[in-house]
Structure 1
Amino acid sequence: MREPASPLPPLPPLSAWGTADTVFDRLAGAWDLERTIEGQASMSGVAVFTPLETGMLKYREEGRIRLADGKEFDGHREYFFERVPGGFAVHFAESPPRLFHAVGIVCDGDVLAGSATHLCTPDTYDSGYRFLPDGSFTIRHAVRGPRKDYLSATVFKRRGG
C-alpha cells in the first residue's frame, strides 16, 4: 500500500546557529579559515574564539599568507567580540579596545546575516557576515577608498567538523 503524499513541503534544516541572540555563544572554539583577497593574496589558517572573564571573546587567527607574486609568510590578527542584543560588536585588540563595528543579525532565508560599515578615513570598510545552516560562516570586507581597494572573503569551518 502506498503512503499518501504529504500536502506540506519539507521543512528547511534548522540552522546550527539558532537565533541572532545565540550566534555569539556558538562562535567559541577553533575554526579552520580560508581567505582570499581579490588579486592580492590568500591565507589558510586557524581562528580561535576564546571566552574571557569580561564576557567577551578574544579572536586570534594565525596562518600562512601567499601573495600573488608567490611570496609566503606567517601572519596573525586579533580582535575582541562582544555580545550585544541581536548580534555582536567587534573591537580592535587595543588597550582600551576600540570599536571596529557592530553587527545586528537578521534572518535571510535559511541564513543568519549581518552587515556593518567602518570608516577608516579616508577608506570605507563594508563588512558582511553570513552564518550558514551547516554551521560554517563567512566574512566579507569590501574596502574602498583612495588608499585601499579590495575584497576580502573568508570562509570559517569548525575544526574537526
Structure 2
Amino acid sequence: MQTDPGARVLADFEGAWDLHRQIIHADGTTAMFQGVAVWTPEADGLIYRETGSLKMPQGAAMQSERQYRWAAGLDVYFDDGRFFHAVPARGGKATHWCDPDTYSVIYDFARWPVFTALWEVSGPRKSYSLHSHYSRR
C-alpha cells in the first residue's frame, strides 16, 4: 500500500517548531504570541506543548502555555482526554463545538515544513481569530 506523499502523518510533526500567532478580537484589538511548539513522543502518540510570550493589546507580556495530545490519525485531544478535533492529513477544515461557541480551523500544509492554522471562534461568548504560523526549528 502506497502512502499519499502530500498527506501528513503523526511522525511529521515530531520535534520543535517556532510558533508565531496573531489573535484578532471582534473589536479589532490584536494580541501577539511568540514561542515554541514541541511535539514529544508518548506511549501512543505525541504530546503537543507550546510555550512562549503573550502580549495583550494593552498590557505587559506574560508567559503562556498550553498542551494537547495528538494520536494516530491526527486526532487531537485535550489534556483531560476529551476529543478536540481531527487534523485533515492534506490540510483543510475541522470544527469543534464548545457549547455555545463554534471553533473552526483551516490547516494549510502547502509549504511544508512550514504550515499555518487559522482558527475562527464564534458564538455568544467568544468572537476572535487565531492565525498561527509554524516553522521547523
Fold match, TM over 0.5?
A: yes
1:47 pairs with 19, 37, 40, which one?
37
Which residue matches 2:6? 19
Q: Does residue 103 of the first structure (1) align with residue 87 of the second (2)?
A: yes
Name the residue aligned to 1:128. Answer: 106
Residues 83-116 of structure 1 deviation map (CA, whole Å, 9 limit, x = unaligned): 21xxx1110011xx1100113333xxxxxx1221
Instruction: Give structure 2 stretches of 5+ with no counterpart.
Output: none
Q: How does 1:135-150 map to 2 (within 5 A)?
A: 135-150=113-128
The AA in structure 1 aligned to 2:57 is A
Give me the whole-angstrom Cα distance separating, in 2, the residues matched to 1:134 and 1:99.
26
After TM superposition, give the deviation of residue 19 of structure 1 in Å. 3.0
> How many residues in Structure 1 have an aligned counterpart in Structure 2?
130
1:118 is the counterpart of 2:96: yes
Q: Distance in 2 between matches of 1:133 and 1:89?
A: 22
Aligned-residue CA RMSD in angstroms?
A: 1.5
Unpaired runs of at least 5, structure 1: 1-16, 107-112
- Any idea what the Cα deviations from partners look like across 1:138-158, whole Å, max 9, x if unmatched? 111100001100000100011
Letter matched to residue 6 of structure 2: T
What is the CA–CA distance in structure 1 between the aligned matches of 2:103 and 2:14, rounded to whole Å?
A: 25
Cα distance in structure 1, aligned partners of 2:108 and 2:9: 11
Distance in 2, matches of 1:45 and 1:62, equals: 6
Alpha-carbon distance in structure 1 between the residues aligned to 2:82 and 2:112: 32
Q: Does 1:78 align with 2:67?
A: yes
Q: Secondary structure at the match of 2:88?
A: strand
Larger radius of gyration: 1
Q: Which runs of 4+ in 1 moved over 2 A?
A: 103-106
CA distance in 1, matches of 2:57, 2:47: 30
The TM-score with structure 1 as length reference comes to 0.76
Offset at residue 128 of structure 1 (A) = 1.1
> 1:6-26 CA distances to partner (integer Å, 9 max, x unpaired)?
xxxxxxxxxxx9332x43211
